[in-house]
């Protein structure tokens, strides 16, 4: 397993962004809002004049294109900040929306700057969070440029198993509520391709996905398929 781990480039995982829990000390300075699943938190074409902090839930960040479509970029999980800080563009293409019910705090720029001045550790954590997102986007650009859809999905599952899988008897269990759509968003792959690939992997007894778990029955076989040319 260690040899495979070294050979397979590691993609950024959903939970890899630096948490900024020190901001919890300053929530009294922010404006609180609760968004139901699917609600728009930051609409396209709107300037962002505050930093958002996700107390609970999960947000999605996407960017628009000239043809009116949107492309998923990354998630903003609990205890991390949003993607937009202060856009000076007249027509921002970034959109932030609630993946599930989310409690979000909005910090005005003057308040967040005062926090930075008072608490340098918060500033360092915010910088690290932004850098993590930058590295994530760079890794995604690389993957979209050099790897086939099936390879991106298989690499993601493999590395998820390495980082979070638990060995039970002779197979692995990954406790995760990631949906096939979310896996498609993370890997830049169409939902249909993810669904077909998971069906094929289940038929071959390589893995099985349930609502809150992924069972990996043959990790070495899954790893060997990453460089195979599959039709998905």
CA distances from 174 to 59, 83, 121, 149, 196 (A): 23, 28, 33, 22, 20
Query: Tokens 């781990």 sit at which residue?
Result: 5
Find the distance separating the first CA and the last CA of the chain, reported in whole Å.
25
The pLDDT assigned to 208 comes to 95
The pLDDT assigned to 32 comes to 95
Calculate Rg over the CA atoms of the chain.
19
Question: Is it the case that residue 229 has pLDDT exceeding 70?
Answer: no
Rounded to 10 deg, the angle between the 120-146 and 149-164 helix axes is: 140
What residues contact 40, with CB distance under 8 A and at least 6 apart? Answer: 95, 96, 97
Are the beta carbons of 221 and 227 closer than 8 angstroms?
Answer: no
The pLDDT assigned to 64 comes to 78
Short-list 140, 152, 59, 66, CA closest to 103: 59
pLDDT in tens, 102-132: 999 999 889 999 999 999 999 999 998 888 8
The pLDDT assigned to 5 comes to 44
Determine how β-strand 31-35 pairs with β-strand 171-175.
unpaired
d(CA 42, CA 97): 7
Q: What is the dihedral of CA 69, 71, 75, 81, to 10 degrees?
A: -80
d(CA 120, CA 61): 27
| Confidence tier at 83 by pLDDT (50, 70, 90) | low
Query: Tokens 């094929």 sit at which residue?
Result: 200
% of residues, the chain, pLDDT over 70: 84
Our measurement of the distance from residue 217's CA atom to the centroid of its chain's CA atoms, rounded to an integer in Å, reads: 25
The pLDDT assigned to 4 comes to 45
The pLDDT assigned to 133 comes to 85
Question: Is it the case that residue 15 has pLDDT exceeding 70?
Answer: no
pLDDT in tens, 172-202: 999 998 899 889 988 888 889 999 999 999 9
Q: Report the mean per-residue pLDDT for the chain.
A: 84
d(CA 35, CA 17): 22
Residue 129: DSSP 8-state: H
- Name the token pair of 95: 């959109």
pLDDT in tens, 30-77: 999 999 999 999 887 666 678 899 999 999 988 877 666 778 888 898
The pLDDT assigned to 230 comes to 65
> Range with the lowest mean pLDDT among 41-45, 164-168, 208-212?
41-45
- pTM tops 0.85: no
CA distances from 132 to 29, 136, 139, 148, 218 (A): 26, 6, 10, 24, 31
Structural domains in the chain? Answer: 21-144 (2.60.120.10), 147-225 (2.60.120.10)
The pLDDT assigned to 18 comes to 79
Give me the mean pLDDT over the 82-102 stretch: 73
The pLDDT assigned to 177 comes to 86
Task: Select the more confidently predicted residue: 146 or 214.
Answer: 214
């Amino acid at each position: 397993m260690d040899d495979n781990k070294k050979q397979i480039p590691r993609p950024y995982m959903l939970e890899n962004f630096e948490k900024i829990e020190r901001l919890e000390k300053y929530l009294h300075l922010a404006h609180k809002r609760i968004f139901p699943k699917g609600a728009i938190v930051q609409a396209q074409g709107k300037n962002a004049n505050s930093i958002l902090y996700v107390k609970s839930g999960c947000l999605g960040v996407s960017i628009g294109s000239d043809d009116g479509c949107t492309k998923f970029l990354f998630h903003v999980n609990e205890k991390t900040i949003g993607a937009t800080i202060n856009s000076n563009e007249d027509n921002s293409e970034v959109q932030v929306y609630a993946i599930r019910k989310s409690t979000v705090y909005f910090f005005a720029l003057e308040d967040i700057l005062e926090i930075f001045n008072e608490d340098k550790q918060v500033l360092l954590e915010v910088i690290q969070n932004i850098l993590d997102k930058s590295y994530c986007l760079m890794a995604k650009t690389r993957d979209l440029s050099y790897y086939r859809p099936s390879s991106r999905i298989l690499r993601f599952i493999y590395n998820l198993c390495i980082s979070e899988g638990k060995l039970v008897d002779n197979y692995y269990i990954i406790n995760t509520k990631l949906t096939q759509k979310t896996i498609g968003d993370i890997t830049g792959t169409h939902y249909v391709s993810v669904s077909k690939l998971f069906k094929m992997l289940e038929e071959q007894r390589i893995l099985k996905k349930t609502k809150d778990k992924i069972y990996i029955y043959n990790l070495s076989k899954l790893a060997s398929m990453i460089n195979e040319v599959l039709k998905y």
